[in-house]
Amino acid sequence: MDVIVKVEHLVKRYDEVLAVDDISFEIKRGSLFAFLGPNGAGKSTTINIMTTLLNANSGKVFLNGQEDEVYFRNKIGVVFQGNVLDEFLTVKENLVYRGSLYHNNKESVMKRYDELRDFLHLDEFEHQRFNTLSGGQKRRTEIARALFSDPEILLLDEPTTGLDPETRQIVWKVIDELKKKHGMTIFLTTHYMEEAANADHVVIINKGKIVAQGTPAELKDKYSYDRLKIVPIDKNKLVEMLNEMKRTYEKIADQYVIPVEDPKDSIALINRFKENIKQYEVMMGSMDDVFINVVGGENNV
């Protein structure tokens, strides 16, 4: 897979705040790239520089190897953190008006509008004013706006923050379809760990710096661990055996939580303790662990 976006040594300072502190990364064409970080990490600042809304103090962004801003604007679609459409226009009016900025004849505007209405299922509310829509309907309309110019890459800044679980799922379905059916490259920022777990590549940013990156599996491998949770019949006996084996554990209420290497290790322990087990559970490492281990608990949002 080739590289569509390359970011090199980006730095952005707002007075005394160093919002983005020398970050570099690459986005592969056709991939889903997640930029994960707590509030204030520098996610929106980075996205705003990538979309040419904001100038960096130093560093470069390349799209298909090019640096020209006009070229960028034609190839990039952006869904901002907040909604940007006109509250008092209908969905159709908003989109057709915005679309006329990209197409020079009415026919092609309407053709694109129809495609997007069908793709995003806007038909039930296309004649409603934007301010009467639900959160999920607004997000779908904002995504349609971002897609009007048929961009090569779609950037979404916290597309699901503040949405209810059902609406989040709708947004995820759209993102998934864009990637799988249309081969679109997706870059999104999020502070939801479980969302980053769907990405092809995750970059974790904290206080303007990249603190870890890789596939979700690589990150979990490196920064999280599985645990075996046991509720014993005889506590003293379990503790005695654990100490003898030099195994670390944490006691939470009547449960003993033992970090394990891999499934084999859990099975060996379960076998060893089997006469003394009232209940047990094996918990797999998660993106939550990764986030807490990389960014630190105090930052957890």
* Chain positions contacting Mg ion, by CB under 5 A: 43-44
Nearest CA to 110 out of 96, 90, 98, 129 is that of 96
Name the one residue in this structure whose structure tokens are 């869904």.
79
| Nearest-approach distance from CB 179 to Mg ion, in angstroms | 22
| Nearest-approach distance from CB 160 to Mg ion, in angstroms | 13
Residue 251: strand pairing partners? 256
Q: Name, in order, each residue with C-beta under 8 angstroms of 156's C-beta and a sequence gap of 6 or more.
A: 78, 79, 143, 146, 175, 186, 187, 188, 189
Q: Considering CB distances under 5 to 8 angstroms, the limit depending on partner class, which of Mg ion, ligand ADP, none binds residue 301? A: none
| Nearest-approach distance from CB 40 to ligand ADP, in angstroms | 4
Q: Considering CB distances under 5 to 8 angstroms, the limit depending on partner class, which of Mg ion, ligand ADP, none binds residue 42? A: ligand ADP
Q: Which residues bind ligand ADP (CB under 6 A)?
A: 14, 17, 19, 37, 39-45
- Closer to ligand ADP by Cβ: residue 40 or 135: 40
| Nearest-approach distance from CB 46 to ligand ADP, in angstroms | 7
Nearest CA to 66 out of 152, 135, 168 is that of 152
- Closer to Mg ion by Cβ: residue 43 or 139: 43
Q: Considering CB distances under 5 to 8 angstroms, the limit depending on partner class, which of ligand ADP, Mg ion, none binds residue 37? A: ligand ADP
Count CB-CB contacts under 10 A for residue 80.
19
Q: What interhelical angle do 91-99 and 106-119 show, nearest 10?
A: 130
In the bound state, the residue with its beta carbon closest to Mg ion is 44
Count CB-CB contacts under 10 A for residue 271.
8
| Nearest-approach distance from CB 176 to ligand ADP, in angstroms | 23
- Closer to ligand ADP by Cβ: residue 112 or 191: 191
